[in-house]
Chain A
Amino acid sequence: MTQAAFARAAAGCAALAGAASLPLFGDGYHMALAINIANYTVLATAWALFSGPTRYISLCTVAFFGIGAYTVAVLGELMAWPLVLAVAGAIGVALALVVGLSTLRLSGIYFVIFSFGLAELVRQLVTWFEVNVSRSVGRYVFLDVTQQAIYLQLVALAAVVFLVAWAIRRSRLGLALRIIGDDETVAQHCGIDAARAKLALFAVSALFMTLAGAIMAPRWTYIDPVIAFNPVMSFQVVIMALLGGPGRLFGPLLGVVPLAFLFDILSAQFPNHATLVLGLVFMAIVYALPDGVAGMLARRRRAGAAS
């Protein structure tokens, strides 16, 4: 390990320790905000894990998140917590494989369209199941999990996401995905099984989203399909990852922190105009910062080094 890499690893560990010790200081409000940030850090980084290198825009984050949350609502009181998480993750991966197998072999646009409606489809199926089979649409989640415990689990999950993302970037799979993102035809000529590489990464990304949903579920006490599959969440994840820059490991984090504060203020102060402002911010990012903050900083640094 070179000295620079060692320093970076040390900085990462220090940041992790700092984040994990937060519950010692914050009160209820700060705790809620921190949970929010940790949750979106996991979601946006997991999103960028797949959509960053491949440039396949996925609009279905909340489909996986909601599945995680709903699995906990259904099974939370029946099984031990790690087992519940395992089941939730398995369901999320299974869905990702079904969706990926049917759409990722084709051109990117089919995947985008499919992902665009996936959350709505899953929501309708869950609602149908609840109405016809379990005969009640809402569910209560009575799990004895404190805010601190939720937060610490999310921070741990975020650390795992970063580690996995870092490892994938250095692996053959990561290289293969970057080539696919640049030019899929070239990738195929290099002997890369593009469909399998995309599928594998989509499943990994979905696994983390599902787990985040499962960990977040006890926060709500009451869950129904409309709450669990709220499309605004998919949207927020995309906008956060894009603001930070999906092409870099810590890019999404740069977008998560400022936007989490913005959304918090918006939903408290201007609930009626939140959607409108979100849309405007999103468009501003698409037009002004096509590579995100991280991309802009890297360009500045290169320009500075050249002059």
Chain B
Amino acid sequence: MLIADVLLSGLTLGGMYALIAMGLTLQYGVARIMNLSYGEFLIAACFAAYVMMTGAAIDPLLGLVLALPAAFAVNWAVYRVLLLPLVRRAKSAGALEVDSILATFGLLFVVQGILLAIFGGAYFSYSYLSVPVTVIGSTVAANRLLALGFAAAIGGALALALARTRAGTALRALAADPVAAQLVAIDVRAMAAFAFALGGALVAAAGVLVSMFLTFNAAMGVVFTMKALIVVIMGGVGDLRGCLAAGLLLGLAEAAVARLVDPGLTLAVTYAIFLAVLLVRPTGLFGRKAA
């Protein structure tokens, strides 16, 4: 069943894209850091899951429980140590954007360099729940479905937390207007660090889930950063619904092209969609007018 094949692989892929982009939308939309090293942290989480699985026989799902707080702590430290000085030095939002792009571009190569020094450039993968499951006449690996389920659960929990909790409200206020957020007694720097760290924890979760079915190597992070950025821009910066819609759109488009045209052209499709959105609606599907 061709349509079921495309739909299913598109949805599993799109769900992962949405999850990957959620962390970035927090980091860029709320903490205002354009993080070009984002994908490297995803790959680092892939390697962490690999080491835990092959070295200590720790189930990736249990690994998820370990990876989330660890990634939160690491990203919080990255924000406090590396990025806060830039926030302090920046005279304007534009200056911070340029500085954070440059600093995280350097960080990209630092993280990639560490991974290369430890693991080398070879491809890695491990086998976990790679049994076929048949859904509406199309076959898919169980680990992909499991990852999709977890992605949906994590995304749902995040959306609920943002909508219902006090911290979530503060984050949304910060995304809407950092100056006005200060006026209602929100500690902007602490919340920005929190948002950045939360985004880091989300991308680590995505990395652990992706590692269950993906063959990865140390140099692959850039592609993930790229796709996350495109999903974030397409959906509208700082908007979770946008992430979901844009992620699914991208996943479906890529699956359709990979299945019907040529798997070598998926990145071209990503770019074509990105360009189309930029030309028609530069603020993204759900974006408000840029400030």
Chain A residues positioned under 8 Å from B116 (CB to CB): 272, 275-276
How far is it, in angstroms, between the C-alpha of A131 and the C-alpha of B265 when the chains are bound?
A: 12
Q: Is the CB of B117 within 8 A of A121?
A: no
For the complex, is B226 an interface residue (Cβ under 8 Å from A)? yes
How far is it, in angstroms, between the C-alpha of A210 and the C-alpha of B114 when the chains are bound?
A: 32
**Chain B residue with the shortest CB-CB distance to A118:** B271
Query: From residue 94 to 144 of chain B, which have CB atoms closer than 8 A to chain A?
Result: 94, 97-99, 101-103, 105-114, 116-117, 120
Q: Is the CB of B229 within 8 A of A116?
A: yes
Of the candidates B97, B101, B265, B278, which one forms a contact with A103 in the assembled complex, judged by CB atoms under 8 Å apart?
A: B278
Chain B residues positioned under 8 Å from A272 (CB to CB): 116-117, 120
Among A144-152, A162-170, A280-288, A293-301, the stretch that binds chain B is: A280-288
Among A39-47, A122-130, A186-194, the stretch that binds chain B is: A122-130
For the complex, is B59 an interface residue (Cβ under 8 Å from A)? no
**B222-250 vs A: 1/0 string, CB under 8 Å?**
11011001100100000000000000000
Of the candidates B99, B114, B262, B267, which one forms a contact with A120 in the assembled complex, judged by CB atoms under 8 Å apart?
A: B267
How far is it, in angstroms, between the C-alpha of A287 and the C-alpha of B117 when the chains are bound?
A: 24
Of the candidates A103, A131, A277, A283, which one forms a contact with B103 in the assembled complex, judged by CB atoms under 8 Å apart?
A: A283
Given contact pairs A102-B278, A124-B265, A275 touches B101 in the complex (Cβ within 8 A): no
How far is it, in angstroms, between the C-alpha of A201 and the C-alpha of B209 when the chains are bound?
A: 44
**Chain A residue with the shortest CB-CB distance to B237:** A109
Of the candidates B102, B111, B113, which one forms a contact with A286 in the assembled complex, judged by CB atoms under 8 Å apart?
A: B102
Report the count of interface residues on A (CB-CB < 8 A).
42
Shortest distance between the CB of A260 and any CB in chain B (Å): 17
For the complex, is A263 an interface residue (Cβ under 8 Å from B)? no
Of the candidates B89, B98, B230, which one forms a contact with A113 in the assembled complex, judged by CB atoms under 8 Å apart?
A: B230
Q: Is the CB of A276 within 8 A of B262?
A: no
Q: Is the CB of B113 within 8 A of A273?
A: yes
How far is it, in angstroms, between the C-alpha of A242 and the C-alpha of B103 when the chains are bound?
A: 12
**A225-263 vs B: 1/0 string, CB under 8 Å?**
000000100010011001000000000000000000000
Give the secondary structure class of A's interface: helix
Shortest distance between the CB of A243 and any CB in chain B (Å): 12
Given contact pairs A117-B226, A124-B268, A275 touches B262 in the complex (Cβ within 8 A): no
Chain B residues positioned under 8 Å from A277 (CB to CB): 113
Q: Is the CB of B222 within 8 A of A120?
A: yes
Q: Is the CB of A132 within 8 A of B262?
A: yes
Report the count of interface residues on B (CB-CB < 8 A).
44
For the complex, is B260 an interface residue (Cβ under 8 Å from A)? no
Q: Is the CB of A109 within 8 A of B97?
A: yes
**Chain A residue with the shortest CB-CB distance to B37:** A279
How far is it, in angstroms, between the C-alpha of A278 and the C-alpha of B106 when the chains are bound?
A: 8
For the complex, is B168 an interface residue (Cβ under 8 Å from A)? no
**Chain A residue with the shortest CB-CB distance to B89:** A290
How far is it, in angstroms, between the C-alpha of A109 and the C-alpha of B283 when the chains are bound?
A: 12
Q: Is the CB of A108 within 8 A of B109?
A: no
Query: From residue 73 to 103 of chain B, which have CB atoms closer than 8 A to chain A?
Result: 82, 85, 89, 94, 97-99, 101-103
For the complex, is B282 an interface residue (Cβ under 8 Å from A)? yes
Q: Is the CB of A273 within 8 A of B117?
A: yes
Chain B residues positioned under 8 Å from A15 (CB to CB): none
Q: Is the CB of A124 within 8 A of B264?
A: yes
For the complex, is B290 an interface residue (Cβ under 8 Å from A)? yes
**Chain A residue with the shortest CB-CB distance to B274:** A114
Given contact pairs A109-B97, A116-B226, A116-B229, A287 touches B113 in the complex (Cβ within 8 A): no
Q: Is the CB of A287 within 8 A of B233?
A: no
Q: Is the CB of A279 within 8 A of B112?
A: yes
How far is it, in angstroms, between the C-alpha of A57 and the C-alpha of B104 when the chains are bound?
A: 13
For the complex, is A217 an interface residue (Cβ under 8 Å from B)? no
**Chain A residue with the shortest CB-CB distance to B99:** A286
Shortest distance between the CB of A124 and any CB in chain B (Å): 5
Chain A residues positioned under 8 Å from B34 (CB to CB): 109, 112
How far is it, in angstroms, between the C-alpha of A239 and the C-alpha of B99 when the chains are bound?
A: 13
For the complex, is B185 an interface residue (Cβ under 8 Å from A)? no
Given contact pairs A103-B278, A132-B262, A121 touches B271 in the complex (Cβ within 8 A): yes
Q: Is the CB of B275 within 8 A of A116?
A: no
How far is it, in angstroms, between the C-alpha of A36 and the C-alpha of B113 when the chains are bound?
A: 23
How far is it, in angstroms, between the C-alpha of A277 and the C-alpha of B222 when the chains are bound?
A: 19
Q: Is the CB of B106 within 8 A of A120?
A: no
Q: Is the CB of A242 within 8 A of B275?
A: no
Chain A residues positioned under 8 Å from B282 (CB to CB): 106, 110
Q: Is the CB of A117 within 8 A of B222?
A: yes
For the complex, is A59 an interface residue (Cβ under 8 Å from B)? yes
For the complex, is B68 an interface residue (Cβ under 8 Å from A)? no
| 5 residue pairs, one from A and one from B, having the closest CB atoms | A276-B113, A279-B109, A279-B110, A275-B113, A282-B106
Can you spell out 6 A-B residue pairs with CB atoms less than 8 angstroms apart?
A114-B274, A121-B267, A125-B268, A276-B113, A279-B109, A283-B82
- A interface residues (Cβ-Cβ under 8 A, vs B): 55, 57, 59, 102-103, 106-110, 112-114, 116-117, 120-121, 124-125, 127-128, 131-132, 231, 235, 238-239, 242, 272-280, 282-283, 286-287, 290
Q: 5 more A-B contacts (CB under 8 A) besides A109-B34, A286-B99?
A: A103-B278, A106-B282, A275-B116, A276-B110, A282-B106
